[in-house]
Amino acid sequence: MKKNRSGGSHSWKKDLRLLPGYLILTLWVVFTFVLIGWVFAASFATTREIFKGEALSFPSGLHFENYVKAWTSQNVSVFFANSLAYASISSILLILICAPAAYVLSRFKFFLNHPIQSGFVAAMGVPMVMIILPLFGIVTQMQLLKQDVTVRLLMIVLYVGINVPYTTIFLLAFFSNLSSTYEEAAAIDGCPPMRIFWKIMLPLAQPGIVTVSIFNFINIWNEYFMSLIFANNDRVKPVAVGLYSMIDSMKYTGDWAGMFAAVIIVFLPTFIIYLFLSEKIIAGITAGGIKG
C-alpha cells in the first residue's frame, strides 16, 4: 500500500517535470482541433455569418441545407461515388494481385526473386513526373480518354499499378513472419500448393491485408495528380480533383458555407476510418517506415 502511494507522488513530480512537453503537445493538438472544428462549424453556418465572424455562434440555427446543396447541385455526390468506387475496387484488386506475388517472393528461391524485390523497393521512390508523360501519351494514342467507361477502367488500372510495389513489399514482410509449419502440414495431407495459399495462408495474413488495404484506400481516396490529368470531365472525377474545381468555381458564386460543407464531405470518410483504426494505421506506418 505504502509503496503504491509513494509511486503516486513520484508520478506527480514526474508529470510536473514533463510539463513543458505537455504544453507543447497540447498547444499543437488544440490548434488541430480549432482548425477542423471551426471548418466543421462553418459548414453549418451561412456565408454571411461566416463573414461577420459568427461561424461559431449559429445566430440563425444549423444550416444542413449547405450539405444538401453541395451534395446535389455541386456534383459532390458524383465525385464521392467515383472515389468510393475507385478506392474500394482498386484496394480489392491490389490484394488479389499483390498477395500471391508477395507470398511467392517470401517463400521460394528463384533467380529473379531478389531483383524483383529491389525493383519494387526502388519504385516506391520514383516520383510521379518520371512516369506520367509516357502513360498519358500511350493512353491518348489508344483513344482511352474519349469514353467515360474506359476512363474509369483506366483510373482503376493506374491506381492499382502505382500501388503494386508498396502493397507487395508490405505483404511480403508479413508473409515472411508466418511460420511455414502450416504449409508443411497441409502439403503432407496432399493439398496442392496453390490451394494451400488461398485456403490457409491468405486467411492467416488477414491482419496485414486489412492494414495495407486501409492505406491503399486512403491513398487512392486522396490521390490528386494522376486524377487531375486523366479524369478529364465532371462525370469521372474523384473527390480531390472535384473539390478543387468546386473551389475554383466558388470564386464566382461566393458560397463559402457550401464550400466548407464540401470540404467536410471529402474529409469525413478517411477521418471516420482513422477514428476507428488509428492504432492499426500507426502500427502499419512504423512497421513500413523502418524497412524503407
Partner 1 sequence: MKRNKTMIIVFLTPALVLFCAIFVYPILRTIVMSLFKVENITSGIAQWQYVGFQNYKSLATTSLFKTSLLNLLRIWAIGGMVVMSLGLLFAVILNSGIRFKNFFRAVIYMPNIISAVALATMWIQFVYNPRFGLLTSTFKLLGMDSLAAINWTDTTHKFWALLFAYCFGMVGYHMLIFSSGIEKIPQELFEASTIDGASKVQQFRLITFPLLRSVLKTNITMWSITSVAFFVWSQLFSMVTADTQTITPMVYMYLQVFGAGNVISERNAGLGAAVGVFLGLCVVIVFVLTNRLIKNEDLEF
Residues 155-214 that bind partner 1 (CB under 8 A): 157-158, 160-162, 164-165, 168, 192-194, 197
Q: Number of residues in contact with partner 1, rule: CB under 8 A?
A: 96
Which range touches partner 1 (CB under 8 A), out of 2-10, 29-37, 68-76, 147-155? Answer: 29-37
Please state the closest distance from residue 206 (CB atom) to partner 1, in A: 18
Smallest Cα–Cα separation from 147: which of 155, 158, 138, 135? Answer: 155
Taking CB under 8 A as the criterion, the residue among 10, 12, 18, 114 binding partner 1 is: 18
Taking CB under 8 A as the criterion, the residue among 10, 12, 64, 137 binding partner 1 is: 137
Long-range CB contacts for residues 191-199, cutoff 8 Å, separation at least 24: 197/100, 197/103
Handedness of CA 15, 279, 281, 71 (dihedral sign): negative
Q: Looking at this protein, which amino acid is placed at residue 13?
A: K
Please state the closest distance from residue 239 (CB atom) to partner 1, in A: 7
**Residue 195 has which C-alpha cell?**
490451394
Between CA 151 and CA 140 the distance in angstroms is: 11
Please state the closest distance from residue 204 (CB atom) to partner 1, in A: 16
Helices 2-17 + 19-42 axis angle, to 10: 70
Please state the closest distance from residue 119 (CB atom) to partner 1, in A: 7
SS (H, E, C) 119-152: HHHHHCCCCCHHHHHHHHHHHHHCCCCCCHHHHH
User: CB under 8 Å to 57, separation ≥6 — which residues?
Assistant: 49
Helices 65-72 + 76-107 axis angle, to 10: 70
Taking CB under 8 A as the criterion, the residue among 77, 147, 180, 278 binding partner 1 is: 278
Between CA 189 and CA 202 the distance in angstroms is: 18
Between CA 89 and CA 255 the distance in angstroms is: 33
Contacts with partner 1 in 257-276 (CB under 8 A)?
259-260, 263, 266-267, 270-271, 273-274
Q: Which is nearer to partner 1, 92 or 104 (CB)?
A: 104
Taking CB under 8 A as the criterion, the residue among 88, 229, 234, 280 binding partner 1 is: 229
Between CA 29 and CA 281 the distance in angstroms is: 19
User: Does the footprint of partner 1 cover residue 286 (CB under 8 A)?
Assistant: yes
Please state the closest distance from residue 265 (CB atom) to partner 1, in A: 9
Taking CB under 8 A as the criterion, the residue among 186, 201, 256, 261 binding partner 1 is: 256
Q: Which is nearer to partner 1, 2 or 251 (CB)?
A: 251
Please state the closest distance from residue 184 (CB atom) to partner 1, in A: 14
Contacts with partner 1 in 64-93 (CB under 8 A)?
none
Q: Which is nearer to partner 1, 133 or 153 (CB)?
A: 133
* Residue 204 neighbours by CB distance under 10 Å: 15
Q: Which is nearer to partner 1, 98 or 212 (CB)?
A: 98
Which range touches partner 1 (CB under 8 A), out of 61-69, 72-80, 174-182, 278-286? Answer: 278-286
Query: What is the helix (H) or strand (E) element at residue 251, kind and residue range?
Result: helix 239-253
What character string, x for contact with partner 1 (CB under 8 A) and - otherwise, covers 97-136?
Answer: xx-xx-xxx--x-x-----x--xx--xxxxxxxxxxxxxx
